[in-house]
Each structure stands twice: as C-alpha cells, then as structure tokens.
Amino acid sequence: MKNIIIIVLIVISGSLFSQNAKDSIEIKNSFWGKSYKYNGKYLTPSQIRKTIKDNPEAYKVMGYAGGYKMFSDVFSCAGGFLIGYPIGTHLYGKEKPKWELAAIGGGLVLIAIPFAIGYSKRVNKAVRIYNEGIRQTTDVKKLNFELGYTPDGIGVRMKF
C-alpha cells in the first residue's frame, strides 16, 4: 500500500500551475482557413473583439484588422457582382453579356485578396498579443508540488 501511495505521489509531483479564470484563445488551422476557440467555443470576429478588450494593445491591433476586413468585403462583393451579372445575362440569354464587367470584377477580387490576407494576419497578431499578456499574468502564480525528504520522512512539498 505504501508503494502505491509513493508511486502516485511521484506521478503527481510534476510542476502544476494554478488555474486562472482567463484562458488563452486557440488558433485552429483548417482547410477553410483559421478559426479561433476560447473555452471550448468557436469565436466570431466580434466575439474575439469582446474577449480581448481588456488588453489595449491587442484591441488596437484588432481595430486595424477591422479596416482590412471592410476593404476586403467591399472589393470582393463588388467584384463578385460584376463577375456574376454577365454570367447571369449569358445564362438567361435576353441580352448580350458584357464580359468587360466580368474582367473588371476579376480585378476587384484580386485587389480584395491582399486585404483579406492582411485581415487574417492582424487578427492572429491580436490573438498572440492577448495570449502573451495572459501568460505573463499566469506565470507569476506558479505553484509547484515536489516529492522529497522532510524532517519526518518522505513527503510532498508545496512551493509558491
């Protein structure tokens, strides 16, 4: 019985950290892009903004990301419309399609791509800044359990 207790104490004697109410935001990569997970739930961009509002630097970077998102959305929507309109008129067949509009729309979509990439980079940077701020506050509250010799024999020591 004593051997089992000693083995259990050795197993749990690794370094443990105290839990903090603030958890970091996970960045998940998938085929469709990046997603952000916080406390087991996936976040939308507005939820990310609410989550990181306590960190002024991360919140500022997230604000810049919003500008990139706006330009990306405007150019991609306008480009998508200008591409889709001639295709629709071609399929409907009432009038001759204006393929020049599709070419202009393709150009607008190409302009939107760097803004979308910039948005993604800024959101990732904001999340990294937020997570680093969380780690700095939780590293201070380190709690260690160690198995070792005490004046009364073998025991568990707790260090702050």
Radius of gyration of the chain (CA): 27
The tens digit of pLDDT for each residue in 110-159 reads 999 999 999 999 999 999 999 988 876 655 555 667 777 777 777 777 66
More confident residue, 108 or 145: 108
- pLDDT, mean of residues 101-112: 96
Note whether 30 and 148 are within 8 A (CB). no
Question: What residues pair up with 41 in beta bridges, in sequence order?
Answer: 38
What is the per-residue pLDDT for 148?
74
Domain ranges of the chain: 1-18+141-160, 54-140
Query: What is the pLDDT confidence band of residue 73, given thresholds at 50, 70 and 90?
Result: very high
Q: Is the pLDDT of residue 22 over 70?
A: no
- pLDDT, mean of residues 91-108: 92
Note whether 33 and 120 are within 8 A (CB). yes
Q: Is the pLDDT of residue 55 over 80?
A: yes
Q: Tell me, what amino acid is at 120? A: S
Distance in angstroms (rounded) separating the CA atoms of residues 158 and 69: 49
What's this model's pTM, rounded to 2 decimal places?
A: 0.66
Distance in angstroms (rounded) separating the CA atoms of residues 61 and 65: 6
